Amino acid sequence: MTNNTRNQKWELQSRVPPILGINYPIIQGAMSWLTDAQLVAEVSNAGGLGMLGPHAGQTTNPTSNEEVIERMRAEIRNVKALTNKPFAVPVMVSANPDMIPLMTNLLLDENVPVVLINGVDAELFKIFKAAGRKILCRPIDVTPENAREAQRLGADIIIATGFDEGGSLPSKPIGTFSITAQIAQAVSIPVLAAGGIADVNGVRAVFALGAEGVYAGTLFLATQESRMADNVKEMVVESNADKMLMFRSAFSFYRSLPTPFADKLVEMDKAGASTEEITNVLVGNQGMRVGMVEGNLEEGYISVGNGITYIHEIRSVRAVIEDVMRDFI
């Protein structure tokens, strides 16, 4: 890999660290099943902002809304036992709207300092603003209009997610470069870029487009502290973005590194299966957990972003942050 900006001196500035009370403008995004207390605390201890995700620390599906809440409460307390730095939790940890008031109360009760809202919901903004919490807004399909509305309602930071990301993809195939510049021009609050950023050049590139930091997922999966299975970490190190498969899902699309299970989903898509049928197979047997946490490629998939091209070794969270944030050290 050529790395022709590596030895240049860069001077980047960001309003994000003072807003969130962290050292470097990097947030580890929520990732279903994968972002547990250990990873989150490690990111926050290393100067970024860690974020718990759905099913944090779990190996089984919950059987009730109350169980989701009690599991998340326990994991929030695990984070607090491991770090005294700020961390974040998303409000929407399931597709079930009944969960939102329950999660809201939990995050208020547990004094979670930073919340992620995956949409522009005036009522939620009001509640968390009144409680003095910092709001990260990440509309799944971010546009200049919804970013401006989030700013008007009091979001502290907007996350602009491009089609290069891992996890459930935005419904429009707009790459991280295009969306970052568009959103940075639309609002005056800081914008973080998400999707495919996994090395220092990616960080510099999104700053050139107007971002003031990065929101990364895949980068943190390929670390010693992540609970992703070792065989999957090896696949990430050995693969490039051109190896990725893509198939439809309930929201829009998913990518996966090649696995027999992902092949099946691609085949279903090609054969004209309905989105519902594909989603039932995708989610029904917890394919993300089975593939990524258990490392079972026959029955699971490996959802990662295009940034895998730049991941060449498994390092500690701290080494990763100090490398990609070198312009702030």
Site residues for ligand FMN per CB under 6 A: 29-32, 34, 53-54, 90, 118, 161, 164-167, 194-197, 215-219, 288, 292, 303-305, 307
Shortest distance (Å) from residue 74 CB to ligand FMN: 18
Residue 190 vs 305, nearer CB to ligand FMN: 305
Cβ-based neighbours of 267, under 8 Å, separated by 6 or more: none
- Going by C-beta distance under 8 Å and a sequence separation of 6 or more, which residues neighbour residue 7? none
For residue 295, how many other CB atoms are within 10 A of its CB?
Answer: 17
> Residues near 145 by Cβ (< 8 Å), separated by ≥ 6?
none
Can you say whether residue 144 is alpha, beta or left, with left for phi > 0 and alpha for psi between -120 and 50 degrees?
alpha
Q: How far is the CB of 214 from ligand FMN (least distance, A)?
A: 8
Beta-strand relationship, 114-117 and 134-137: parallel
Minimum distance of ligand FMN from residue 272's CB (angstroms): 27
- Decide: residue 154, CB within 10 A, 0-12 exposed, 13-18 middle, 19+ buried: middle
Nearer CB in complex with ligand FMN: 17/291:
291
Q: Which is nearer to ligand FMN, 153 or 304 (CB)?
A: 304
In the bound state with ligand FMN, the residue whose beta carbon lies nearer, of 9 and 213, is: 213
Nearer to ligand FMN, 207 or 215 (CB): 215
Q: Which is nearer to ligand FMN, 11 or 265 (CB)?
A: 265
Could you tell me the smallest distance in angstroms from the CB atom of residue 141 to ligand FMN? 13
- Least CB distance from residue 90 to ligand FMN, whole Å? 6
The CA-atom distances, in angstroms, between 296 and each of 64, 157, 293 are 26, 37, 8
Burial of 267 (0-12, 13-18, 19+ CB in 10 A): exposed
CB of 93 to ligand FMN, least distance (A): 8
For ligand FMN, the closer CB: 32 or 249: 32
Angle between the 37-45 and 317-324 helix axes, to the nearest 10 degrees?
40
Shortest Å distance, C-beta 257 to ligand FMN? 11
How far apart CA 166 and CA 305 sit, in angstroms, is 4
Tokens found for residue 9: 């001196």
